Structure 1
Amino acid sequence: MFLLIVKYHLTDTPWGYRMRLGNIPLWGMLDKEEIMSEESVKCPACEGKKKDRSEEEKRNLINRLSRIEGQIRGVKRMIEEDAYCVDILRQSAAAGAALNSFDKIILSRHIKSCVIENVRSGKDEVIDELVDTIQKMLK
């Protein structure tokens, strides 16, 4: 059984006391079967929005994310080891650039497949969704 320890900072206290909420299972307070059931996984707002990717494409994306995850762990380790600020900033910038590259790949494939298919089938609301997504990415 996996447990997640959640800690909260009480910001209204003069010395920043912590309050421990106890051990909460990773799946939360619901039964594991309830979480894994199909009904609880479906989101009405996302109904039908799924992208089929080839195994190679999935593998490439997951490998890219694993490298980014390793970079983030490296930055964390640098902080724990009291590394020089500029070195930490360089590694953090590299991780951010890698994540931006990941986003560009996903966005490009989304436009070339999902957006084009939806526009051809008369679902023009996908354009508004795309514009909204790009605006959020540029913040």
Structure 2
Amino acid sequence: MSQKNIINRLKRIEGQVRGLQKMVEEDRQCSEVLTQLSAITGALEKTAEQIVKQYTKGCILEYEKTQNEKILDDLIANISKLKNI
């Protein structure tokens, strides 16, 4: 996925978050707010997945060129940061 596609996804998510904020300000029903929150969470998770795929491919290609173990260590450390998403 290209950087442009990721930016477009993030802009859509930004719009969803603004919509969620408006829903809360308008005191919309809890079920509606939770549905929107769930959609935002799913969109963030999918975006994170795409970023991780792209990052992982880049790391593997760089490791194959350099055989530098630190690249793999950094990859593992960064993927570990996402375990709670």
Same fold? TM cut 0.5: yes
Partner Cα distance (2:12, 2:38) in 1: 14
RMSD of equivalent CA atoms: 1.4
Aligned length: 83
- The answer to whether residue 18 in structure 2 is matched with residue 78 in structure 1 is no
- Please state which structure has a larger fraction of its residues in strand: 1
> How many angstroms does 1:58 deviate by?
2.5
Q: Deviations over 1:47-99 (max 9, x none)?
A: xxxxxxxxx92221111111000110011000000001111111011101101
> For the Cα contact (< 8 Å) 2:60–2:72, is it kept in 1?
no
Instruction: Tell me which amino acid in the other structure corresponds to 1:119.
Output: Y
1:133 aligns with 78
- The answer to whether residue 61 in structure 2 is matched with residue 117 in structure 1 is yes
Consecutive unaligned residues in structure 1, runs of 5 or more: 1-55
Counterparts of residues 1-139 of structure 1 (less than 5 Å): 57-113=2-58, 115-120=59-64, 121-139=66-84
Larger radius of gyration: 1
- Give aligned-pair identity as a percent: 35
Which SS does the other structure have where 1:138 is aligned?
coil
> How many angstroms does 1:107 deviate by?
0.5
Consecutive unaligned residues in structure 2, runs of 5 or more: none
- Of structures 1 and 2, the one scoring higher in RCO (CA 8 A, sep 6+) is 2
User: What's the TM-score, normalizing by structure 1?
Assistant: 0.56
